[in-house]
Amino acid sequence: GQSLEQPSEVTAVEGAIVQINCTYQTSGFYGLSWYQQHDGGAPTFLSYNALDGLEETGRFSSFLSRSDSYGYLLLQELQMKDSASYFCAVRGLGGGFKTIFGAGTRLFVKA
């Protein structure tokens, strides 16, 4: 079946770097996206990888390797406000427009 696997929780300290992995068992998608969701809030878009390699957006970077069936989100210079859930997602499965999300990774940033 089609699925995206993420660790359920990650803990890191303020100022550090953390990597959130997303491995997938699906094919035929057009790119990997990342979304952030704070408690009680709506998901917001962070980053998108259409091609293999690294995409950098400020403190956040995202990476995709189709040959290894995985991607990751890298958060640098962690801040307390980065404590949130992070979801990877793919769209365009099987040539259509279906979207699937991973179950999410809860990031705890400690002082």
Partner 1 sequence: EAQVTQNPRYLITVTGKKLTVTCSQNMNHEYMSWYRQDPGLGLRQIYYSMNVEVTDKGDVPEGYKVSRKEKRNFPLILESPSPNQTSLYFCASSQGTGGASYNSPLHFGNGTRLTVT
Which three-class secondary structure state does DSSP give residue 32? Answer: strand
Which neighbouring-strand residues pair with 11? 108
Backbone angles phi, psi at 49, to 5 degrees: -120, 110
Check binding of 97 to partner 1 (CB under 8 A).
yes
Pairing of strands 18-24, 4-5: antiparallel
Give the nearer residue to partner 1 in terms of CB position, either 15 or 94.
94
Tokens of 39: 């408690």
Distance CA 46, CA 63 (A): 12
- Which one of the spans 18-26, 29-37, 62-70, 71-79 is the region binding partner 1 (CB under 8 A)? 29-37
Give the nearer residue to partner 1 in terms of CB position, either 80 or 99.
99
Check binding of 39 to partner 1 (CB under 8 A).
no
Pairing of strands 105-110, 84-91: antiparallel
Which 51-90 positions form the footprint of partner 1 (CB under 8 A)? 87, 89
Check binding of 30 to partner 1 (CB under 8 A).
yes
Q: Which residues bind partner 1 (CB under 8 A)?
A: 8, 30-31, 33, 35, 41-45, 48, 50, 87, 89, 91-92, 96-104
